[in-house]
Structures are given as structure tokens and as C-alpha cells.
Amino acid sequence: MVICAGAAVAIGALMIIVAAILAAVFPKLVDVLLNREIALRDGGRTFNWWREPPVSPRLSIYIYNVTNADEFLNDGEKPALQEVGPYVYLQHWEKVDELSVGPEEDLVVVPNVPMLSATSQSKHAARFLRLAMASIMDILRIKPFVEVSIGQLLWGYEDPLLKLAKDVVPKEQKLPYEQFGLLYGKNGTMPDWFTVYTGQRDIGKYGMMDKWNGKSNLGHWTAPECDAVAGSDGSIFPPPITKHTVLKVFDKDLCRALPLVFKEEVITAGGVPGYRFVPAEDAFASPDRLESQRCFCPAGPPCAPEGTFNASLCQYDSPVLLSFPHFYLGDPTLRDAVTGISPPIEDKHQFYIDVQPMMGASLRAKARIQINLAVSQVRDIKQVASFPDIVFPILWFEDVTNCRCSFLFRPDDQGIDELPEEMRGLMKMAVEMPPIARAAISGTLAAIGAIVLLGALLCLARAAKRQEKLHLTNPLPSNNVTASKTAGGQLNPAFQNSSGSK
């Protein structure tokens, strides 16, 4: 009985110890199992979702319509801009316009991007070339501003300069498109391939890009850390993600990886908790303020103004400056150079991605970017002789993130407002179930161990009491000897007690 109770004590104590150890290592065990499950492997659930995201991305575009083009050119007035939009496109296997403020046939007046790009590039060319360019523009009746439809501005229209360049420019210098459109070519399959790490061998590289079109470097920037093909496509990131993690989203149209930092905890649709990451405040800092940005200005100074990024090297040398909408985080003088652009509002103009920290999956994204044209004054070209040096806003768009899938799958522009219910349910379960399972398993083991231990101790206590009662009812002789007397009736001295009494 005592032996069995002792064994029960050992078992109970062991179960309590195991419960404590399990409670301590359970999160690590969950991470191992979760990482193995989310790693990209053919046939896996996450792989299929990643390859063909079951979402309906929405692209919202806002155009800056110039309402005083003549006054700006002839009288030196500030450009007066009217923000029109949104023009909304739901991205399925084809583009259709829904939820827009008007049809694609709406007309707007915008800067003539091909012409102003050409004149700006000719600023440092020989004077006779600039004069020849002015003559050609006269003959072709090319003006600094054009009136085009929304559809033409976005998806393409025939431009006389591009048509001329197609015939006279050497083959190796020709542009890869025949029409001009700010989003020309993005409403179909793009000829770009990205290879990414699956995370099967190293979860720390999960979703990270390895190569773009077979190259590990862009070939644009002067420092390896700026020129490397690095970061994620914005759909998945290596877990676990903490509040100190810096996420990097690579976009080949941006010519770089954009760093994102933690802003706040959020609850997304379906009750799934996440972390919101936004661009670092110095993401588009000028090299004068942040020396590490110097590598993005190989031809400078002058470099791009504070809050803008010069993307001309990957936009066929067109003087394209990217910024956040309404010059959010930019130099206030950029907005002061025009009228009609209201001060930026963080909730409306900030770029952000909400991610699930345990799984590294994007829950919701609002990628917001503004396209601007850096126009230089060129006095020898009369059409733009009165044009000041100015960063001219063209448009800004929302909800466009680039999911460039590798393994030779077609890329799609993805803008995610919320995930489908099935995906939200799985993520919520992945977040809520581990703590519940940890508490249930550890708690059950500890409770059973405590019950076994307590029962065993009670048994031992009862056994001890029974032994005590047994001793009390059957006492042994005090010295376990027989006292003998001497012949005179006295006790034998050999049996006297130690005190000497008789």
C-alpha cells in the first residue's frame, strides 16, 4: 500500500512538472508546426492562396485636372489643380470599372508627360538639338498640356513624339511600348518573373525575393544595400513579426524596397488581430537629411526633394518623382507650388499594410502612391520656356500592392481591403486556438497530477495514522527485559536505573 502510494506521488509530481514544461515550450512547438504548415509547398493550402489570392483587389485612381493651363503658361500663375475621382477598378481576370464617379470617357487636362520628359532630358544637350526639338514640336503641334480621357491617360493613347521616336531612335534605345499611358501594360500579363524563398528550409526567408528576371541586383543604385532585390512582394513576410520588425516591400516600378515600421495594433474584419506597418518617416528622405539615401541619387546633386523619390532610372529616364498622396511626409513647398491640393490626412493618404504577426500574412493593405513629373525650364524650347522648375502632380492611386508570384506564375496587381471569410476564419483559429490548447492541455495535466498527488498524500497520511493506532493498542515492554531480585528482596544492582534510585 505504501509503495503504491509513493508511486502515485511520483506520478502526480511528474505530471505537474510535465504540465509546467509543456506550458513553457508550447508556444515554440506551435511556432514549429505553424511554420511547417505555412511554408510554400505545391499542393499546400497557403501555397494555393498565395499563388491565386482569393481576393477582389480594388484600384482607386485620383487625377489632378489642370484648370488654368493657359494662365500658368502665359501669365505665370500657379497651376490650379482639381482632384477628380476616384475612378475605381475591381481587379478580377479582367478590369471593369465600378464605383467610379464617372465614366472613363471623362476628359481632363494634364501635363504632356512625353513632351515634358523629352524637354527635361534635353536640358543639358547641345543647343542646336534643343532648337531642333522646338521646331519638331511646332510642326507636330505638340503642347505642354493635353486634354485626354481618363481611359487614355491610364491605359494608353498614341502620342506623336513616341510615334516619331519609334521611327528614328536606334533599336537598342527604343521604348518597350508604342503608346503612352501612366498605367500602360498593367492591365495584362507583365513580362516579369520573381523567384522567392518558400520558407521550407529557413522560415526566416519565407516570402523573401531572391531574384527579379534572374538578377539579384537592379543595376541602378551605387550601394549594394540599395541596389539589391530584397524584401517581400507585400503578401507574406517571415514570421514571427514583432513590433520591432522592419518589413520591406519590393516593387520593381519603385526601383527599390520600401521599409515599413510598426505603428499600432489593429483588429481586422472577422476579428483577426494584426499589426499595422507604415512607411518609415525617412523612407523618402533627402540625402541632405539622411546620408544613407545618398545611394538613391547617383547623378546628384541636386537630388529629389524631401518626401519624394526619383524613379527615373527605372522609368526610361523620364523625370518621374514618386511620393505619397498630397505630398504626405514631403516638403510643404511642394504643395505650396500649386493650388487645389489640400493638406494631407494620415487616414486617407498614408500607405499601410496590416499583417498577422504569427503567420506573417497580409490581412489588409492600402498602398497609396502619387506620380509626379519633375519639370525643368528649358529656355531654348519656346513651348516650355515659361515653365518653371516644378514638381507637377499627375495622379495618385490607392489599394495597389504588387503580388509578383514566382515559380513562373503570372503577376497580378493586388490591393487587399479584407480577406475572404475562409482565410479570416483560419487565421483567427491559428491565433486563438494555440493559447486555448496550451491552457487546456497544461491545465488538464496539472489538474490530474494534483489530484493524483493529493490522493496519494491522503493515502499516505491515513496509513501513517493506522500505524500510530496500532502502536498505541499493542505497547512493547519499556526495556524488553525481566527484572530479577536478590535473595533479600532487593533488585539486582545490575538492573538499577541510571539515576541510581532503587
Dump pLDDT digits (tens) for 43-57: 666 666 666 655 556
- Cβ(49)–Cβ(236) below 8 Å: no
Would the pLDDT of 502 be above 60? Answer: no
In a domain, 12, yes or no: no
Average of per-residue pLDDT across 407-420 = 38
pLDDT of the residue at 205? 87
In a domain, 40, yes or no: no
As a whole number of angstroms, the distance between CA 362 and CA 232 comes to 11
pLDDT of the residue at 241? 92
Max mean pLDDT among 1-15, 28-42, 71-85 falls in: 71-85
In a domain, 430, yes or no: no
Would the pLDDT of 231 be above 50? Answer: yes
Max mean pLDDT among 118-127, 194-203, 284-293, 412-421 falls in: 284-293
* Least reliable range by pLDDT among 17-21, 303-307, 427-431: 427-431
| Number of domains present in the structure of the chain | 1
Mean pLDDT of the chain: 77
Average of per-residue pLDDT across 259-275 = 88
In a domain, 484, yes or no: no
Bigger pLDDT: 125 vs 336: 336
pLDDT of the residue at 361? 84
Cβ of 43: how many Cβ atoms within 10 Å? 6
Q: Which of 261, 259, 257 is nearest to 243 (CA)?
A: 261
Bigger pLDDT: 6 vs 54: 6
Confidence of residue 499 (pLDDT cuts 50, 70, 90): very low
Bigger pLDDT: 494 vs 64: 64
Bigger pLDDT: 415 vs 275: 275
Residue 197 sits in which domain range?
A: 55-419
Q: Which of 233, 270, 239 is nearest to 252 (CA)?
A: 233
pLDDT one-digit tens code per residue, 164-222: 777 666 665 556 667 888 877 665 545 667 788 888 888 888 888 888 888 888 888 88
Beta bridge partners of 321: 310, 372
pLDDT of the residue at 260? 95
131 is written with which cell numbers? 532648337
Would the pLDDT of 400 be above 70? Answer: no
In a domain, 235, yes or no: yes
What burial class does residue 466 get, using C-beta atoms within 10 Å of its C-beta: 0-12 exposed, 13-18 middle, 19+ buried?
exposed
Would the pLDDT of 416 be above 70? Answer: no
Would the pLDDT of 472 be above 70? Answer: no
Supply the DSSP symbol for 342: P
pLDDT of the residue at 471? 67
142 is written with which cell numbers? 505638340
pLDDT of the residue at 198? 81
pLDDT of the residue at 457? 73
In a domain, 124, yes or no: yes
As a whole number of angstroms, the distance between CA 402 and CA 413 comes to 5
Confidence of residue 347 (pLDDT cuts 50, 70, 90): very high
As a whole number of angstroms, the distance between CA 427 and CA 270 comes to 10
45 is written with which cell numbers? 493550402
DSSP string, 358-375: TTTEEEEEE--EEEEEEE
In a domain, 6, yes or no: no
In a domain, 221, yes or no: yes
Share of the chain above pLDDT 70, in %: 68
Confidence of residue 91 (pLDDT cuts 50, 70, 90): low
Average of per-residue pLDDT across 378-402 = 82
The DSSP H or E segment spanning 16 is: helix 2-38
Confidence of residue 407 (pLDDT cuts 50, 70, 90): very low
